[in-house]
Amino acid sequence: MTNDAELALPKLALIVSDSAKAQAGARVLHDSHDWVAPQEADVLVVLGGDGFLLHVLHELLDRDAIKPVYGMNLGTVGFLMNGPLDDDAIARRVAEAHRVPVRPLCMNATTQDGQEFSYHAINEVSLLRETRQTAKLEIRINGRVRLEELAGDGILLATPVGSTAYNLSAHGPILPLGSRMVAMTPLNPFRPRRWKGAILPESAEVELRILEPGKRPVAAVADQKEVRDVATVQINATAEKELTLLFDPGFTLEERIFAEQFQV
């Protein structure tokens, strides 16, 4: 076992959600370590659930202040989080953690009136019909039309991290971490009825064009950021904004993705 003299312990900042459970956990951890301010930290320790962790990651992206993040599950699902509190060894636990790179998607959306919006998605970008009318989309990949018309509720593109979230509920494929792939999954497709989606290299440049946008309006959503009445949406993975999640040995996100694929 490596001792503290041999192991460089990182400077840690503690970021806590507003939930009562997370606040109680923070009180347990508060006196167990010499915490620093987030801007001085090597690693951010986040207490809460998956939703709060994604919120923190988006704040890092927005501020262009990307640092490794170690999540501790004091929420509900905790798929992106580590296990129970260990207040006596938090610095060692973080220092020995397994690093998982997470490359977000960049969504560039243009609305019907010409406005442009750019957002990042750690889980997925989804296009959803706004009314009872079926959405109709044209799919271009690397400048080439691959599907002239998809009719249904919409479509999503998911990262490996997001492949076990909305994508899984829509019967999309689970992607192993490190695969550098993106899942393209239709949402309740009406035509072509048998098309189940595609797995794309993350280097692919995807463009989705809305057909009959006046009659069939569509919203584009990058995680929680929504743009309504879009005309076109471009999506690609961005290496410049790569994030790092930290997981305890034997408790990695990759192992949980394997386990998810063999649930019956």
| Catalytically active residues, by annotation | 50
> Was 118 annotated as part of a binding site?
no
> Was 124 annotated as part of a binding site?
yes
Query: Do 57 and 100 contact (CB within 8 A), yes or no?
Result: no
Say whether the peptide bond before residue 192 is cis (omega within 30 degrees of 0). yes
> Was 113 annotated as part of a binding site?
no
Q: Which of 227, 201, 4, 249 is nearest to 117 (CA)?
A: 227
> Was 64 annotated as part of a binding site?
no
> Was 166 annotated as part of a binding site?
yes
| Beta strand segments in the chain, E | 12-16, 43-48, 69-73, 98-102, 105-111, 116-121, 124-129, 135-141, 144-152, 154-158, 181-187, 198-201, 206-210, 218-222, 225-227, 230-237, 243-247
> Was 3 annotated as part of a binding site?
no
> Was 167 annotated as part of a binding site?
yes
Burial 85-112 (b: 16+ CB within 10 A, else e): beeeebbbbbbebeebebbbbbbbbbbe
Query: Do 149 and 114 contact (CB within 8 A), yes or no?
Result: no
Phi, psi of 18 (to 5 degrees): -80, -5
> Was 153 annotated as part of a binding site?
yes
> Was 229 annotated as part of a binding site?
no
Query: CA angle, corner 52, sides to 45 and 182, nearest 5?
Result: 100
Residue listed under structure tokens 């989309």: 137
Annotated binding site for NAD(+): 50-51, 55, 123-124, 153, 161, 164-169
Annotated binding site: 50-51, 55, 123-124, 153, 161, 164-169
